[in-house]
Chain A
Amino acid sequence: MKKILQRFNKLNNVQKVEFILASLFTLALMVGMPVYAWFSSVNKMETMTKVKEPENLDIRAGHYHSIINFELSDINIEDMDKNGKIEYRVFSVSAGNYKIPYVLQLAHTTNIPFKYSIYHAEEVDSSGENTVPYKPIYKDPNDPTTDGTTFYYQKGDAVSLIPLNADSANETYYGREIAKKNDGFYNKTYANDDDAEIYAVPKYLKSETITPSDKGEDTYDYFILEIKWDSEAAAPNFTKWNKAENNKETDMIYITASRGVS
């Protein structure tokens, strides 16, 4: 300190002034920088928000069990044909945590003269009038509710399904409408658009937008698929497009849920 002072004293007046000014400017900078930084900071604003998880649509068997429990193989056609038995299968739709509106779609081939309908359903505690039982076939070790318990579903209103690919009045054309719409798609397989095997083209139906019931998280919408025997189509003198075939027939049924217009 003393040395600095001595050196300072040795300087002439002009140099002293210069020295003092230089130190002042340096200090001004030191003081000014953080203050200036603060000035520049107040022209910034920010806010944070959360991104919600993606919307989920999930179709499963009754009681929201794994879809493997949605089983159609044990349908007794004889019972249906002779006694008019109606088969019911329950499935559930999860519309995720946000309960997004969705559309149900049903597509099926038409080999067996079945009539398909879908009904809204509610899970109820016990069997009663118009209830449909559902018992899981496969045991899930992680889910105690799959342990042979039977669940019951009260049949509600029908879901109106609008056929999209059909002019059902047309006796011979029915299933081929979709092929015609796609203009040329069936050319790759058949000689002409119109030659598509009638039963190879599924009937395609779609519901109106369904608003999920909002009972909180982890709640589901339940539906009943009703399968009836179409005795008219099974009659021997029936000649329309959906007449029953005498082969060992199988059918494919697709039920899908897609995001509806909210």
Chain B
Amino acid sequence: MNYSENKPSEQMMKLAEEQAELILSEMKKENAENKRKQKKSLIKLTSMLILLAVLIAFSTIAWFTMNREVDTEEIGMKAQGMNFELSSIDENGFKGLWYDPYHKNVREETGSDAIVWLMTDESNFGNYNSDNSDNTEEQNGGIKPGSCGKISFNVKPYVDNIYLSYDFEILGYSYDENAANNADNMELLDEKESPARFLNGHILLFEERTGTTKDDYVYSKPILSNADMQRVISSNKYTKNANDEPTRVDIYWVWPMTLSKLIDARTCQKVTVSESPFTSTNAYHEVVENITTYPDYYFKGVTRPANVNDRLAETAIVTDYDKYGDYYDQADNEIGMGVDFILLKMSVSEVSSSGE
């Protein structure tokens, strides 16, 4: 065998070499391109992630700061995306507010994000500190049977017409001055039990009031507690003002001194009742209907009948006013003994809107 014959020719070798080099360079090229591609997508992805991180961070921080501002400075918040703006009537900021430290405690405990309702001389819930004294234990504040007043707020529609629904809730708190730490000294009372249950029937809200003095006030359009202890206004219309001024809304609260302010008991034979109800004709019937349907909101020791047909009759209450008047007073007493603070919460939602 001739060795030289087996040897590849130089030409072939060259060819093979060239071929190999070509393949190699191709591979290198491909590799580089792949790497470049990878790099490109890596940069894209990283930048996207950074962008999103920044977005999240900003929105979260913004939310935190906004939330804090509600607590301390900001009175009303314009919420983009909503068709209305809700705000307090601000004259003095937080300076004219009693019981704010207690309220703050509750807000922190519950993580409440509601706007703190600011009060004025003529619009308050017995919690307006007229002389701006720092004394939070001030005795002159607070409410009791016979107290009444008005609380106001502003609604500013961003559209021509808007229908809003309201949901009010009154919660009772007891205050324990001996609590180990501040955070525990306000205790939410069980709303289904006495005395918090009686808040539903003893602190009443109305949309309208006429008259000039406490003695001749006539209340109408009651916002009464339903079976779920919610007080609801289903739909009120607001129209955008020409000068973009907000519309002022007044809610009247009253803690009737006696049951005779709600039910006309002047015909009672057993006791002499001289007071007449402070409600307008329509409101009178609504309130009485509420009393007979939910007597457990008004009277101590009277339970709600399981069947609506078995409910108390107005005439029965009038005939036995000596008893029912006392049940009502006893419930008042329970509130006075067991409830130290009450929290009024209002929640507003859009029902519908039109225009722009």
Contacts and interface: CB of A to CB of B under 8 A. Distances in A.
Interface of A: 5, 8-9, 20, 27, 30-31, 34-35, 37-39, 41-55, 97-98, 261-262
B346 interface: yes
A52 B81 CA distance: 42
B102 interface: yes
B348 A39 contact: no
Interface of B: 37-38, 41-42, 45, 48, 52, 55-56, 59-60, 63, 66-67, 70, 77, 79-82, 84-86, 88, 98-100, 102-103, 106, 112-117, 119, 125-127, 139, 141-146, 151, 153, 172-173, 257, 274, 332-333, 335-337, 339-349
Contact of B349 (A37, A43, A47, A49): A43
B127 A50 contact: yes
A47 B103 contact: yes
A144 B153 CA distance: 54
Nearest to B86: A43
Given A44-B345, A44-B348, A55 B99 contact: no
A49 B143 contact: yes
A239 B45 CA distance: 116
A53 B143 contact: no
Given A9-B41, A44-B114, A50-B341, 15 more contacts: A27-B56, A39-B81, A39-B82, A42-B85, A45-B114, A45-B117, A45-B153, A47-B344, A49-B98, A49-B125, A49-B342, A49-B344, A54-B144, A54-B337, A55-B145
Contacts of A31: 55-56, 59
Contact of B142 (A9, A44, A50): A50
Contacts of B348: 43-45
A39 B106 CA distance: 21
A41 B64 CA distance: 13
A42 B79 contact: yes
Contacts of A42: 70, 77, 79, 82, 85-86, 115
Which secondary structure dominates chain B's binding surface? mixed
Which secondary structure dominates chain A's binding surface? mixed
9 contacts: A39-B79, A41-B70, A43-B348, A44-B346, A45-B345, A47-B103, A48-B344, A50-B141, A54-B333
A42 B45 CA distance: 36
B117 A47 contact: yes
Contacts of A49: 98-99, 125-127, 141-143, 341-342, 344
B143 A50 contact: yes
Nearest to B258: A259
B105 to A, nearest CB: 10
B343 A46 contact: yes
B142 A47 contact: no
Contacts of A98: 144
A46 B125 contact: no
The 10 closest A-B pairs by CB, nearest first: A54-B336, A44-B114, A50-B142, A41-B113, A47-B117, A48-B103, A42-B77, A52-B144, A49-B127, A52-B142
A31 B55 CA distance: 8
A54 B66 CA distance: 40
Contacts of B52: 27
B56 A30 contact: yes
A47 B141 contact: no
A51 B347 contact: no
Contacts of B145: 55
Contact of B37 (A9, A46, A52): A9
A51 B142 contact: yes
Given A45-B88, A46-B346, A53 B115 contact: no
A46 B114 contact: yes
B143 A262 contact: no
Contacts of B274: 261
Contacts of A39: 79-82
